[in-house]
Amino acid sequence: MRKSNGFLIALAGFALLSCGDAVIKSMAGEWPATAIAALRFCIAIPLLGILVLAQNGKQALVVRRPVLQAARGVSIAFASLLFFLSLFFMPQAEATAIVFVNPILTAILSMVFLRERMNYAGWASAAVALCGVALILRPNLAELGLIALLPLVAAFFFACMMIFNRMAAGTGTAVVLQFYLALAATPLLMLFAVTGHYSGIEALQVTTPDWSIIARCAIVAVSASLAHGLIYVGTTRANAAVAAQAVYIQLPVALAIDAFIFRHWPDLAAMIGVVLIISAGLVNGLIPLMRRK
């Protein structure tokens, strides 16, 4: 039952992330992705800090296993920035679909570093889900070229964060670990924003943001912090590979957002792909429940 609950908690976290991604996509062309990522985490730090102090007191500010917390921060910094950039260049559903290599990467990394095993049903679910991804991306993947690598590399860093989350279990509460995550990621993202500004690339020039951009970054900061907290709790209650399967909920949410907000309508083959991915994810998540009965 604990593993089943972990899957459902992670499911809610990933669904919330897709809603935040839509807010990020709405800022495409208005402000650089590097600056958006940095501001999103800058806003999250004081909010999480207040929660940490209120719930745990000053002793929670003493970082346990700082190297591991830094690794979590670096992973989410790269994952967030690369995925934000991909949202600026492609439909949200397509970028999200490419990120669906994350469960396989997480499963492989969990076997190497955590000595966890992925059962045959889990691997079969992942294979079915990837078939669904192929249907959604055809033939757009060839047209996207190197840009398609952005969410792919983002998926790798997100898988790394999932593994580090598992390793960090017991070093603090979900809120404390979210605070550590933001604290470690923010300096790196600020460095990316400053470097981009002085790189001479026009699209990376950081100008004074409109109030609506600040407001949207704040919305993403709150929703994403909550989402990552849910994902962390889900990962610690189930093994990392199983919790990662919950990522499949992002695709139907992203497709709905693309269709009704950004007017990018999926075709029949894409919808078949969605059904395959949802089915694979739900079956894998229900396996622990079926075994308990």
Cα 100 from chain centroid? 10
Q: What is the pLDDT of residue 206?
A: 93
114 contact partners, CB below 8 Å, separation of at least 6: 163, 166, 167, 239, 240
Total Cβ atoms within 10 A of residue 102: 26
Q: What is the pLDDT of residue 214?
A: 95
- Please write the tens of the pLDDT for every residue from 52-86: 888 777 777 778 888 999 999 999 999 999 999 99
> Got the DSSP string for 38-77?
HHHHHHHHHHHHHHHHHHH-GGGGS-SSHHHHHHHHHHHH
Amino acid present at 212: S
Number of H helices, E strands in the chain: 13, 0
Whether the CB-CB separation of 45 and 186 falls below 8 Å is answered with: yes
* Distances 245 to 24, 85, 126, 211, 220 between C-alpha atoms, Å: 24, 24, 8, 37, 23
Q: What is the pLDDT of residue 244?
A: 64
Q: What is the pLDDT of residue 289?
A: 46
Residue whose C-alpha is closest to residue 250's, from 102, 43, 135, 36: 102
- Please write the tens of the pLDDT for every residue from 170-187: 887 778 888 899 999 999
Weakly modelled stretches of the chain, pLDDT under 50:
289, 292-293
Amino acid present at 80: S
